[in-house]
Amino acid sequence: MNLANQPVRSYSKETQLASKRVKPTQRQMGEISNKVRKQVKERSKGICEVRIKCRGSRAYEQAHITGRGHIDHKTTADDLKHACVECHDWLDETVEGIKYKRKLREKNEFRK
């Protein structure tokens, strides 16, 4: 097919801005709302829920059990663990941590 002979279809800036994205982005799906943050903090009482690299240290971070790239719904409290920095790093950056998150996901699926 020779595109040189095809008419140019202009797509004005107005038309571009008028279209709305229907499906939320992965970033939007993975965002943690204030309501969900509060639920996780209340559940953990401020103590690390992972407790693999610590003995119940103070939790500062929300660790996704299901990564943003794999989540197919808005983040809920069941998708998160309240974790200390050391345990959160272990979950995200080591093979053992990734396997542990997979087990947690399977456990969550079983409860639903």
Distance (Å, rounded) from C-alpha 80 to C-alpha 87? 13
DSSP letters along 37-67, please? HHHHHHHHTTB-SS-SSSSSPBP-EEEESS-
Is the confidence at residue 69, as pLDDT, over 80? no
Higher pLDDT, 8 or 63: 63
What does the pLDDT average to over 17-24?
A: 76
SS3 (DSSP) at 11 = coil
The pLDDT of residue 51 is 94
Higher pLDDT, 37 or 66: 37
The pLDDT of residue 105 is 86
Q: Does the reported pTM lie above 0.85?
A: no
The pLDDT of residue 108 is 75
Task: Check residue 82 and report its DSSP letter.
Answer: E
Query: How many residues belong to the chain?
Result: 112
Higher pLDDT, 12 or 111: 12
Residue 14 pLDDT level (bands cut at 50, 70, 90): confident
* Beta-sheet strands, E only, within 1-112: 61-64, 80-83
